[in-house]
Amino acid sequence: MRNAVRGTETPCLCRGRCSFRRPANNAPEVGADHSAFRIPPSALKQAGFTLVEVMVALVIFGVVAASVLKTMQDSVRQQAAMEERLAANLVAQQVLAEVRLRNPWPPLGEKSERVPLGEREWQVTARVENTREERMRHITIQVARPDAEHPTLTLDAWAAKEEGRNHE
């Protein structure tokens, strides 16, 4: 059909699959077949995602999000453990320095005490033992939280007797 005003024809929404023509002003003619304004079934299938596709995408997103969350939790836990070992190492180094400053040739035996560091308190055990070598002594320092079963850190060090000096 021709538009009386402009004299042009515009195909209907079905893009030429029917014989109906709309006027250029997109107004359907009175009495025209309106089935041509319906969207064809092939166009409906391509209009969006199906429910199954959306559900699969949500499952994939959920698995990825859960693995990222688990990785972050492990990272935070590892960081806390590293901070605790670092603090225990500082305490052990401090106690070792005190043992060596008191006497370059430390006496045999074991000593246990509580040492504060920052907001934490540590149970420290320093043990001095003989070795096979007469001029060497083995110093073992164990650092643990007061309520822990096992030490957080064990530090091994050795002290050598200087030649020509009487230490005991």
* Amino acid residing at 31: G
Name residues whose C-beta falls within 8 Å of residue 118's C-beta, 6 or more positions apart in sequence. 87
Claim: this prediction has a pTM higher than 0.75: no
Q: For residues 12 and 39, give the distance between their C-alpha atoms in angstroms, rounded to a whole number.
A: 10
At 3 the pLDDT is 43
Closest to 128 measured CA to CA, from 136, 138, 120, 119: 138
How far CA 46 is from CA of 17, 51, 58, 114, 158, in Å, comes to 18, 13, 20, 73, 78
- Answer yes or no: are the C-beta atoms of 131 and 138 closer than 8 Å: yes
At 39 the pLDDT is 62
At 161 the pLDDT is 86
CA angle 73, 54, 68 (to 5 degrees): 10
Mean pLDDT by 10 residues, the chain (168 residues): 48 54 58 57 69 95 97 96 94 91 87 89 94 92 92 92 66
At 102 the pLDDT is 85
